[in-house]
Structure 1
Amino acid sequence: MNITVVGSTNMDLVYLVPHIVKAGETLHSTKHELFFGGKGANQAVTAGQLGADVFFIGNVGKDDYGEKIKRNLQEKGVKISAVQEVGMTGQAIIQLADSGENSIVLFPGANFLVTQEQIEANKERIETSDVLLLQLEIPMPAVDAAANIAAKKNVHIILNPAPAQQISDSLLSKVSILTPNETELEVLTGVKTKNEEDLFQACSLLLQKGVGAVVVTLGEKGSYYLNHNERGHVQANQVEVKDTTGAGDAFNGALAVGLCNGLSLRNSILYASKVAEYVVTQMGAQPTIPSSFRVNK
């Protein structure tokens, strides 16, 4: 299971609040905690804990947060030789409500200093991967560069199109599996998804652009998937939610692991859902995942 993750690292500054603050409102936080985060790092740490050989390409700052992030990645089974120190470490300021809902403000920092040259320097590792896992918290030229390398060697590309933004048809045509949530799906297609037929219409538009499969994460409603051979809905199990931060990232990391282990698309989604459901019962975006969650072939 050789998985390369190109993406972001953050230190998450989490403020527990009774509810998400409203415009013009001042609200006292009941608790403040620091957690490791960043969509790329979250996905890499999930895959590493699930037994994959994970190589991470990204940046941290030349600061104490950066050192802590690198140490944590290594402890969670992620190779960090391609992690560069530049600028200030990215941060996420997170409000976590009593309901488990969250609101996030990102300071990109070193993440916006990931370059095409940095990607090219790690070309061989990308070419020999089973899966390349991408998100959009680093500059788009770096994302494009990684996808171009992988596509030329027929490496499977999973793209989590978050934060929501427009994506070129050229990049979409290289994607094996696209994993938007409903908001990101609407940004990409212009289709509001009120029911399953809307989901089918929106996902079909992406398949027409060359995407191999679309897996839409629907939060507590589970997920919907479509490729050229099948479509379906995977229900979510009810769990006691403590923190939804990083749930989608855990889903993506586990999805990559499931596919690397030869599971079908549907079974990979079922597996990823179970991992994500566990993660939301823990605090932080990178909780320790028990070894019992590793794929049992």
Structure 2
Amino acid sequence: MNITVVGSTNMDLVYRVPHIVKAGETLHSTQHELFFGGKGANQAVTAGQLGAEVNFIGNVGVDDFGEKVKRNLQEKRVNTTAIRTVGLTGQAIIQVADSGENSIVLFPGTNFLVSTEQIEASKEIIESSQVLLLQLEIPIPTVELAANIAQSTGVHIILNPAPAQKLSDSLLSKVSILTPNETELEVLTGLKTETDEDLLQACSLLLKKGVGAVVVTLGEKGAFYMNEQEHGRVQAKKVEVKDTTGAGDAFNGALAVAICQGKSLKDSIVYASNVASYVVTQMGAQPIFPVSVPQINTDCSDN
């Protein structure tokens, strides 16, 4: 299993609060912790802990956080030879409510310095991969160039279109699997996403633009998927939620692992959903996985 992740690294500053703060409101936090984060890094360490060979292309800052972030990636089985050290490490200020819901403010820092020149320098790494994982916390031209290189050599491309924004038809046409949540799907298509019929119409529009498959992550409601052959739902496991931060990233990292293993789209989604269900029972976006997690069953009846 050979996966390349092009994306972001962050240090997450997490504050536990009774509820997500409202405009003009001041809340006392009952707990404050530092966690490693960044959508790209979260996806990479998930795939690494699930047994994949993972290469990461991105940046860390010229600061104490940057050193810690890079060391953490290495400890979680991620190859960091393509990481540059420049600028200030990205940060995420995260509120986690007692309900498990979260709200996030991002300072991109060095992530906005991930350049097309870096992608050109790491072209062979991308070309030798089975799967390329992308997100949108780095400049779009960088994402587009990585996708171009991957498509030209037949590498599967999984794009998590977060944070939500419009994307060009050119980029979408290169994507093997697109993994938006409901909000991101609505931004991408301009269509409602409230019912299954809405999801069908929105996903159909993306398939017409050349996307190979769309997997809509729905939190505790599981996932809705569609490609040219089939569509359906995968239910999420019912678990005690402590922190939803990084759940979508864990889903994407696990999805890439399952695709590398040759699993069907549905079985890959079941596997990814089960891994994400474990992550939400832990604090932080990059929990240590127990030995049993890589062997999670893909039987849909488990959900």
Would you call these one fold, judging by a TM-score over 0.5? Answer: yes
For 1:149-188, list aligned pairs within 5 A. 149-188=149-188
Structure 2 residue aligned with 1:91? 91
Question: Percent of pairs identical after alignment?
Answer: 78
Does the Cα contact within 8 Å between 2:17 and 2:30 map onto a contact in 1?
yes
Q: CA deviation at 1:291?
A: 2.4
**Equivalent in the alignment of 1:203:** 203
Aligned equivalents of 2:214, 2:269: Cα separation in 1: 11
Alignment of 1:110-259 (within 5 A): 110-259=110-259
Determine if contact 1:261/1:295 at 8 Å carries over to the other structure: no
User: Does 188-197 or 103-112 show the bigger shift?
Assistant: 188-197
State whether residues 63 and 89 of structure 2, in contact with CA within 8 Å, keep that contact through their aligned partners in structure 1.
yes
**1:295 to partner: Cα distance:** 4.5
1:283 aligns with 2:253: no
Quote the Cα distance in structure 2 between the aligned partners of 1:200 and 1:118: 38
Residue 42 (structure 1) aligned with residue 42 (structure 2): yes
Structure 1 residue aligned with 2:108 = 108
Tell me if 1:6 matches 2:6.
yes
* SS of the residue 2:273 aligns to: helix
- Secondary structure at 1:15's aligned position in 2? strand
Matched, 1:67 2:48: no
* Preserved CA contact (<8 Å) 1:258 1:295: no
Per-residue Cα deviation, 1:132-152 (whole angstroms, up to 9, x for no partner): 000000000110110010000
Task: Give distance in 2, aligned partners of 1:147 and 1:264.
Answer: 22
Q: What stretches of structure 1 move > 2 A for 4+ residues in a row?
A: none
User: Which structure 1 segments of 5+ residues have no match?
Assistant: none
Equivalences, count: 297
Aligned mates of 1:178, 1:291 — CA distance in 2: 29
Which residue is 2:82 aligned to?
A: 82
TM-score (norm 1): 0.99
What whole-Å deviation, never above 9, does each CA across 1:182-232 have from its counterpart, x for those lacking one?
000000001111111110000000000000000000001100000000111
Task: Please state how far the C-alpha of 1:296 moved relative to its aligned partner.
Answer: 7.2
User: 3-state DSSP class of the match of 1:81?
Assistant: coil
In structure 2, give the amino acid aligned to 1:107. F
Change (3 A) 1:296 1:23: closer
**In 1, distance between residues paired with 2:59 and 2:174?**
24
Matched, 1:262 2:272: no
* Cα deviation digits, residues 20-39 of structure 1 (max 9, x gap): 00000011111110000000
Q: The residue matched to 2:103 in structure 1 has which SS?
A: strand
TM-score by length of 2: 0.97
In 2, distance between residues paired with 1:237 and 1:42? 21
Root mean square deviation of aligned Cα = 0.9
- 2-side partners of 1:143 and 1:173: how far apart? 13
Counterpart code for 1:207 = L
Which structure 2 residue ranges, 5 or more long, are not aligned? 298-303
Contact 2:274 2:296 in 1 (8 A): no
For 2:301, the equivalent position in structure 1 comes to none
